[in-house]
Chain A
Amino acid sequence: MKKDYSRKEKNDIFEEEFLPHIHSMYNFAYRLTFNEDDSKDLVQDTYLKAFRFIESFEKGTNAKAWLFRILKNSFINDFRKKSKEPSKLDYQEVETYYNSDDVDEKITTDLRAETVQDMIGDEISNALNSLDVDFRTVIILCDLEGFKYDEMAKILDVPIGTVRSRLHRARNLLKEKLTEYARKMGYS
């Protein structure tokens, strides 16, 4: 239901509930676009849309999830079409492949917690960046930003079961990447 906020109320919501999330929003945008100018445009566009549609936001509810949802949709509609990201078809093929039970068995088990803790950070960051955008997104939302599965389902417009399975595959893929890095660095 639409709210009828005064100009002052709108400004207050914007200042107190929206702007405090700008650091998370910018980091999310950067992980999606890998480009500083595009990230700025995406975040700015998201905040302008949030202000324009502020009547559909209920004061005091989950502003961060609402903003992330707008940013994700802006990315899909305005940026992804222009970018070289794999098409939806490619993604579905990947997801189907990684949803087969056999793959779990193939995930390497020689990566150790100590090895990961010894990594300087670039390896983790590069491994995350190398994932397909849909897999990357669920890891960002869950592990970097701490969203719960039901919040992620709303942000991504998918059922909670899809969040669970996508996150499962994303983490297995990330582990594969980290295992490759560990091998190259002679950790294992």
Chain B
Amino acid sequence: MCCNNSNKNTGNDSSGISHKDCMDLLYQFLDNEVDDKVGGQVHEHIKICMPCYERYNLDKAIKEMLKTKCIGKQVPKDLIQSIKVQITPPSPK
């Protein structure tokens, strides 16, 4: 376990990344905003570090809940029509 050794926060473990760096990068990893090398290191670190594993799962759950629960507002039926009417030039008389 990464967090049982003396390099708990700043030293790299077998994953090639420190606990602190992994914690700092978890959001970017979740958003697929790290390169393949760093992504691989974070992925390996999560497997052997319970605090990082738990935080990653929590962040992932929140992200998924946001996506499924917060975008259900229906567009008013007349909105598209109202926009279209306003961009249509008046027909010549």
Contacts and interface: CB of A to CB of B under 8 A. Distances in A.
Nearest to B86: A48
A73 B72 CA distance: 23
Interface of A is mostly: helix
Contact of B76 (A36, A48, A116, A175): A36
Interface in B37-90: 51, 54-55, 57-63, 65-73, 75-76, 79-80, 82-83, 86-87
Contact of B87 (A48, A128, A167, A171): A48
A105 B63 CA distance: 21
A171 B79 contact: no
Interface in A92-122: 109, 111-114, 116-117, 119, 121
B70 A128 contact: yes
Interface of B is mostly: helix
A44 B62 contact: no
Q: How large is the interface on B (under 10, 10 to 19, 20 to 34, 35 or more residues)?
A: 20 to 34
B28 to A, nearest CB: 7
B31 interface: yes
Nearest to B23: A104
B71 A149 contact: no
A30 B73 contact: yes
A39 B68 CA distance: 21
A22 B67 contact: no
A116 B79 contact: no
Contacts of B71: 23-24, 27, 144
A113 B58 CA distance: 4
Interface of B: 27-28, 31, 33, 51, 54-55, 57-63, 65-73, 75-76, 79-80, 82-83, 86-87
